[in-house]
Each structure stands twice: as structure tokens, then as C-alpha cells.
A and B are shown apart, each in its own frame.
Chain A
Amino acid sequence: DAKTTQPTSMDCAEGRAANLPCNHSTISGNEYVYWYRQIHSQGPQYIIHGLKNNETNEMASLIITEDRKSSTLILPHATLRDTAVYYCIVRVANSGYALNFGKGTSLLVTP
């Protein structure tokens, strides 16, 4: 799997957009970018994934740069309930192996 780099922590004001970056400069052509989040003392929750096109769902948007070396997860209107650790994972689809979760980015949404 390609290595990912995320900031250790970020702050965001409630109601503003939260933009969480992830660097994956060694990503290969068949690797997807996955995002999960983990609220304190709960299991991680799948958010979104993409290959090269930007993706949007009810939770967030995923913007992948044209060279695919980095991506940004966007929470358009952050709420206090979005305070969590966000994990960016790069993985070949259908690999048959389990996902590796690093330390992620701890996002704090403040009133």
C-alpha cells in the first residue's frame, strides 16, 4: 500500500468547511483513496472513497488532485458531532488484504 501523510490535528469552527488533507505521493494507478472517521470510543465509520474523479456523498466530498498525489476530504458545514479522528487510507481494490489504519488527523470542531 502507498504510504499516506496526514496532519496530526486540526481545528475548525462550527458551521465552516473542514478541509482535511492527505498526501499519498507514491500512489499507484490502481490504488483507491479511502476515508474513515472514528468518534471517541466508537468503531471507525466509512465516509467516502475514490480513484481519480472527485466524489460527493451525503457526508462529505473527496477532492483528488490530477496527479493523484494528494487528496482533501471536505466536510462542508462542520458540526460539533464531526469532532473525530479522520483516517486516509490508500489501497488496491479487491486486494484480499485488510486495511491498515494509521494515526489519522484529530479534528476538533469548536463552537
Chain B
Amino acid sequence: DGGITQSPKYLFRKEGQNVTLSCEQNLNHDAMYWYRQDPGQGLRLIYYSQIVNDFQKGDIAEGYSVSREKKESFPLTVTSAQKNPTAFYLCASSSQGLEKLFFGSGTQLSVL
């Protein structure tokens, strides 16, 4: 089945540690996105990528990094510089130029 897969579903980070969230899609979509959601809040854009080897910062990129080496994959690294990383992280993809996004099931990141 075509879709977008995020892993792991739950992730715990220790103080000072970098962690990487995985996002893979087999929809042949050009564009991929990372959003962060805090309890009771809407989604805030972290990074997005319209094409392989290119990405742009969103509204809250500080403390995060991404790569887009393959069309299918858009991993997000939460670095130790992100002081408040506890949140629900959502990855999405879409065909180039279209606003119909397909979302993964999310990763809940918590700090130990």
C-alpha cells in the first residue's frame, strides 16, 4: 500500500542528546514536510523540502536539522540545541505544487 511511514511511534531523549526521527514515503511525492504539534495547539512548520537535496526552514527551525538525500526519505534530527523538544512530530508529503498533504501517524518525543 502506498503511504507515508514515521518511526518510531514513541521516542525518548536524554538531556544533551541528538535524536533522529524517520519519515519515508512511497507515494512518489516531490515535496515533504515536518510539523511540530504541542498539546492543544495547531501544527507549526519546522522544515520542508520541494525537491531532493534542497530544503527550506519553516517557522520554528532552530534546534532542528534535516536532510533530503533521497526522494523517499526526509529524516528530522532534534539536536541538543532544542531546549523544549517534547512534542508530537508529524511528517507529510505532497505532489509538487499541490496542497493536498498526506500525513504520517506521528512520533511522540519526550525528554527523560
Given contacts A98-B33, A98-B58, contact A44 B97 (CB under 8 A): no
Min CB–CB distance B96 → chain A (angstroms): 8
Question: A86–B50 Cα gap in the complex (Å)?
Answer: 26
Q: How many A-B residue pairs have CB under 8 A?
A: 51
* CB of B45 closer than 8 Å to a CB of A: yes
Within 8 A of A (CB), among B9-26: none
| Total number of A residues with any Cβ neighbor in B under 8 Å | 24
Could you tell me if A43 and B99 are in contact, using CB atoms closer than 8 angstroms? no
| Total number of B residues with any Cβ neighbor in A under 8 Å | 22
List, in ascending order, chain B residues with CB within 8 A of A7's CB: none
Question: A89–B98 Cα gap in the complex (Å)?
Answer: 13
Given contacts A42-B106, A96-B50, contact A101 B97 (CB under 8 A): no
Min CB–CB distance A85 → chain B (angstroms): 8
| Neighbour of B97 across the interface among A49, A93, A103, CB < 8 A | A93
Could you tell me if B42 and A32 are in contact, using CB atoms closer than 8 angstroms? no
| Neighbour of A44 across the interface among B58, B99, B101, CB < 8 A | B101
A49-B100, A99-B99 given; 7 more Cβ-contact pairs under 8 Å: A43-B90, A49-B99, A87-B42, A91-B99, A94-B98, A98-B45, A99-B101
B residues apposed to A, CB below 8 Å: 33, 35, 41-43, 45, 48, 50, 58, 88, 90, 92, 97-106
A residues apposed to B, CB below 8 Å: 32, 34, 36, 41-46, 49, 87, 89, 91, 93-96, 98-104
